[in-house]
Amino acid sequence: MQKTFETLVATLTGMANQVAIIANVIGTLIVLILVLIVNFDVVARGVFNAPFLGAVEIVQFSMVMIVFMQLPDVARVNRLTRSDGFLVVLSKRYPNLAAGVRHVIDCVSAVFMCLIAIAIWPEFHDMWQSNDYFGVPGVFTAPWWPIKLVIFLSACLCTVIFILKVLSPAVQPELIKAPEHEDVK
């Protein structure tokens, strides 16, 4: 029974991780599209004195979408902004206690992400029903509901990822060292 549960958690973790990675890739592609839009706007303004109408609105619209598209992958790889200094020190002397604290943090994170999903769902539903738009009419308008849907789906996926982390056996995450933090000789 224990082995079946572990296999189920591992399978669900793999599936959630794949969805998180795909969402991250989509978020990255949106960033690249924004780079093209901003560059096109700069060239159109400077060379042709004709700015790309709606560039500001597209950037505003996309920023929230990018953050929430990439959030599940950030949660997946334990790169959310938090202070791990205490856990690193604690894990050296008391690894089981540190693992327990990590599980508590993941559990609290799951609760908060679930609350975000619950809070955003009525907003998504209202925006879907009302066809509420933002932007400047005649220049650029876009519906609000896609942003609300991305926030909802991202929060749901983050909730699943954090719950699966709580259900997974405690492992000591390796400290991530970036090349700029290595000693240069």
User: Is the separation of the CB atoms in 68 and 40 below 8 Å?
Assistant: no
Q: What's the whole-number average pLDDT of the chain?
A: 88
Q: What distance in Å separates the CA atoms of residue 164 and residue 12, rounded to the nearest whole number? A: 8
Give the C-alpha separation, 137 to 8, whole Å. Answer: 50
pLDDT band at 161 (very low <50, low <70, confident <90, very high): very high
Instruction: State the burial class of residue 17 (Cβ atoms within 10 Å of its Cβ: 0-12, 13-18, 19+).
Output: middle
- Calculate mean pLDDT across residues 18-39: 96
What pLDDT, on a 0 to 100 scale, did the predictor assign at position 178?
42
Is 169's pLDDT higher than 70? yes
How do residues 81-129 score in pLDDT, each as one tens digit? 666 778 888 888 998 898 888 899 999 999 999 999 999 999 999 999 9
With beta carbons less than 8 A apart as the criterion, state whether 99 and 185 touch: no
- pLDDT of 121 reads 97
Rg of the chain taking only CA atoms, in angstroms: 21
In this structure, what token pair is assigned to residue 63? 């920023």
Q: Which class for 67: exposed (0-12), middle (13-18), buried (19 or more C-beta within 10 A)?
A: middle
Asked whether the predicted pLDDT for residue 181 surpasses 70, the reply is no
CA distance 147 to 10: 30
Check whether 45 has a pLDDT greater than 70.
yes
Residues 166 and 107 sit within 8 Å (Cβ to Cβ): yes
Give pLDDT tens digits for 135-158: 888 888 889 999 999 999 999 999
Whether the per-residue pLDDT at 160 is higher than 80: the answer is yes
Whole-number pLDDT of residue 170: 62
On the 0-12 / 13-18 / 19+ scale of CB atoms within 10 A, 72 is buried
pLDDT above 70 (res 179): no
* Distances, alpha carbon 167 to alpha carbons 38, 103, 160, 179, in Å: 44, 9, 10, 33
Closest CA to 155 of 65, 72, 67: 72
pLDDT band at 12 (very low <50, low <70, confident <90, very high): very high
Residue 47, H or E segment = helix 2-48
Dig out the tokens for 23 from the structure: 């969402």
Share of the chain above pLDDT 70, in %: 90
DSSP3 helix / strand / coil % (the chain, rounded to 5): 75, 5, 20
Domain boundaries of the chain, sorted by first residue: 2-176
